[in-house]
A and B are shown apart, each in its own frame.
Chain A
Amino acid sequence: MLSGAAPVSDQSVSASNTNALAQHDRKGRWVTGIGGGACLLLLVILPLVAGGYWTFTLGLCFANAIVIIAVSFLLRYGGEVTIGHGVFAAAGAYTVAMIEKYFGLSLLASLPVALVVGAVLGLVFAFPSRNLSGIYLAVATMALALALPELLLHFSAATGGYEGLYVKLDALPGVPKSLQRYYLPLLGLILVVALLAHFRRSRQAMALLLIRTSAHAAESFGVRRSWARLSCMALSGAIAAFGGALLSFSSSTVSPNSFTLWTSIFLLVGSVVSLYSLSMVGSIIGGLFLTLMPLLLAGAGDWVPILYGGALLAVVLGVNALPPKLRARLQGVRA
């Protein structure tokens, strides 16, 4: 709803019909503006009404939503599947925890570092497969996700091994901890969504979408595919690390257990359930799905993968079965 003001970021939309979109935007801007404002207000005053449990869970949900946005960003702008984004989130989370451990600095100091770490990791990682089809990137991200626990456990002196590390320092002194854990991820999510909406209008985003629409046309304009791959991965890695950093702050702990291959696959499921949305509403739906499902199904452990997999298949097949017009509208409005 907040995103009504943001242009549609469906990859099939080319530069030629932005005029029509702008008109559509102007019409809906008032309605969506008021609706979005009301929802945002609701989220802001929620901790004053709801109990500590819900405040905590929603804080995690917002942080998860940011990581989900990172996955969706890569899917939308890069057209690449990733099943290793847990690793980038882990990079951000461990950056925060280790900066606290070694330098005694709080989240606000380590967030920028986490962003840089995520971006560099994304670049380093995408470089070998920059010229190849997305299959290789997907396989390499899977290897990355599987390799991460091994590395974390081996360097246990720094990473805390199985038990992981704690994130205890307050980011904002004087504010109750539970509120910090709620408002900082919410603020982060709003920031990421707003920046991405702005990014959508930039030349970079146009170039990336042009490559997705037609690689040949893009290359004749001097936009290289390898450049697109690298910049998508760097941005996506940075967003994921940012989300991971906030996740570690909200949950106040990081451990290898929270960043397995399953985490990464579930992130992709969350992204699919939100229809690869880069908006507030979509990503929060994905985040809620990811955060609440395990809680609701706590008693039925073996059913969790079935329900996640079933939800993924249902969304993918369901969207595919819709008439093309409705499908475009659904993805467009939500985007």
Chain B
Amino acid sequence: MADFIALAWAGIVSGCLYAMGAVGIVLINKSSKVVNFAHGNLAGLAAFLVFGFTAGTFGQMTWAAAVILTLAIMVAVMAVCYLLIAPLVFQSDLTSTIATLGIGLVVQGITQLLFGSNVVSLDLPLPNWRATLGPIRVASYDLAVLGVTAISIGLLYLLIERTRIGIAFRAVSANPFASRVCGLNLRGVHLFSWVVAGLLGLVASLLIVPTTFLSSTSVSSFMLQAFAAAVVGGFNSLPGAVLGGIFIGILMNLLSFYIAAEFTNTYLLITILLVLNIFPQGVLAIRGGSRV
């Protein structure tokens, strides 16, 4: 039982990160009906940019400066990505989804070109503190992940529930045609969702790096977890994506401990297929409200 609780705790921590990735994917899908397969590659590039600014490839900045600079660069990168596929978005969801794969390839190539394919380590500036609460071992990293996730998701909630652009986002995701008739700028809303998704991706990838090493493929290898989380949540629901992320985090930890560790992607595949059969609309289904 002690094992189980400790595993579940670690699962919640990594699940928070999957949730942030999934929220980004769902945001983009809700507003522009595009599945962004470049999400993992973009997040990986973001983590490498922070590495580059702090560890000397581009400069020796402090963490705060590096993160702020990278946030600004990511806003620009996401805007460029959206503008690249912008001519396709209203033509065909299918073609724009294919185009995101092209963006992913290009971003992956740029990451390898700029930073090489070596494995580097990127340490977060966290105090070295740990405590033991019964079976659970809490490190400062865990608390940082939980705190940052709570803040990010909370800010996103406020942004979507309380601001004009948030209301516009909800309107566009509910009915693009009607919102256009009402004079909303669909492109603006799309751009908003891409930029917010990119920023969430940056945060998630920075927090994921300490659990693994940073290499040109390590962050994008978490993309499947994020997609699985989005599928569990129904691909169309932001709270669903958060729940899905935590669910996937716990489930993967338990499966790799109790069965075998080398089948992560196979477990994810089976989870995706099972969820699609049992909860075709996601666990937080709004029957009749989601796109099929």
Interface residues of A, Cβ cutoff 8 Å to B: 75, 79-81, 83, 128-129, 131-136, 138-140, 142-144, 146-147, 150-151, 153-154, 265, 268-269, 272, 301-313, 316-317, 320-321
Q: Do the beta carbons of B88 and A131 come within 8 Å of each other?
A: no
Contact of A139 with B35 in the complex, beta carbons under 8 Å: yes
- Is B102 in the interface zone, CB < 8 Å from A? yes
A313 in contact with B84 (CB, 8 Å) = yes
- Please give, as numbers and ranges, the residues of chain A lying within 8 Å of B71 by CB-CB distance: none
Contacting A at CB under 8 A, from B216-271, are: 224, 227-228, 230-231, 235, 262-266, 268-269
By beta carbon, the residue of chain A nearest B235 is: A135
The answer to whether B280 has its CB under 8 Å from any CB of chain A is yes
Contact B272–A309 (Cβ < 8 Å): no
- Minimum CB–CB distance from B177 to chain A (whole Å) comes to 18
Contact B263–A154 (Cβ < 8 Å) = yes
Is B172 an interface residue, CB under 8 A from the partner?
no
A297 to chain B: closest CB distance in Å? 11
Known: A81-B97, A147-B266. A132 touches B280 (CB 8 A): yes
Closest to A80 in B: B94
Residue from the list B84, B91, B224, B280 in contact with A131, Cβ < 8 A:
B280
In the complex, the answer to whether A150 meets B227 with C-beta atoms within 8 Å is no
Out of B37, B87, B117, B263, name the residue touching A150 (CB < 8 Å).
B263
Question: For A134, what are the chain B residues with a Cβ–Cβ distance below 8 Å?
Answer: 94
- Contact check, A309 vs B106: say whether CB atoms are below 8 A apart: yes
> Which size class do B's interface residues fall under?
35 or more
Q: Which residue of A lies closest to B227 (CB)?
A: A139
Residues on A with C-beta less than 8 A from B128 are: none
List CB contacts (< 8 Å) of B51-106 with chain A. Answer: 84, 87-88, 91, 94-95, 97-99, 101-106
From A136, A302, A303, A311, give the contact of B231 (CB < 8 A).
A136
Contact residues in B for A307 (Cβ distance below 8 Å): 109
Complex CA distance for A84 and B70, rounded to whole angstroms: 33
Contacts of B159 in A (CB 8 A): none
Q: Does B132 contact A (CB under 8 A)?
A: no
Contact of B95 among A128, A132, A151, A316 (CB under 8 A): A316
**Cβ B106 vs Cβ A147 within 8 A:** no
Listed by A's residue number, 27 A-B pairs whose Cβ atoms lie within 8 Å are: A79-B94, A128-B273, A132-B280, A132-B292, A140-B273, A142-B227, A143-B265, A143-B269, A143-B272, A147-B266, A147-B268, A150-B263, A150-B265, A151-B263, A269-B105, A302-B117, A303-B109, A307-B109, A308-B102, A309-B102, A309-B104, A309-B105, A310-B102, A312-B105, A316-B88, A316-B95, A316-B98
In the complex, residue of chain A having the shortest beta-carbon distance to the beta carbon of B107: A309
- Set of chain A residues within 8 Å of B88, measured between Cβ atoms: 316-317, 320
Q: How close is A227's CB to chain B, nearest CB, in angstroms?
A: 16
How many angstroms from the CA of A185 to the CA of B43 in the assembled complex? 40
Nearest B residue (CB) for A135: B35
| Residues of B contacting A308 in the complex (Cβ-Cβ under 8 angstroms) | 102, 105
In the complex, what distance in Å separates the CA atom of A311 from the CA atom of B263?
Answer: 34
Task: Tell me the smallest distance from the CB of A213 to a CB of chain B, in Å.
Answer: 14
Residues in A with CB closer than 8 Å to B105 are: 265, 269, 305-306, 308-309, 312
Q: Provide the bound-state CA to CA distance between A134 and B102, in Å.
A: 18
For residue B108, CB closer than 8 A to chain A, the reply is yes
Q: Which residues of B contact A138 (CB under 8 A)?
A: 35, 37, 97
Contacts of B106 in A (CB 8 A): 305-306, 309-310, 313
Chain B residue, CB-CB nearest to A303: B109
CB-defined contacts of B99 to chain A, threshold 8 Å = 312-313, 316-317
The verdict on A302 contacting B102 (CB below 8 Å), with A132-B280, A316-B95 known, is: no
Distance A150 CA – B263 CA, assembled complex (angstroms): 6
**Which of chain A's residues has its CB closest to B34's CB?**
A135
- List the B side residues contacting A143 at CB < 8 Å: 224, 227-228, 265, 268-269, 272
C-alpha gap A144/B91 in the complex (Å): 29
B29 close to chain A: CB less than 8 A: yes
Q: B113 contacts which chain A residues (CB < 8 A)?
A: 302-303, 306
Question: Do A140 and B269 have beta carbons less than 8 Å apart?
Answer: yes
Q: How far is the CA of A151 from the CA of B265 in the complex (A)?
A: 10
Q: Closest approach, in angstroms, between the C-beta of A310 and any C-beta of chain B?
A: 6
Smallest Cβ distance from B4 to chain A, in angstroms?
25
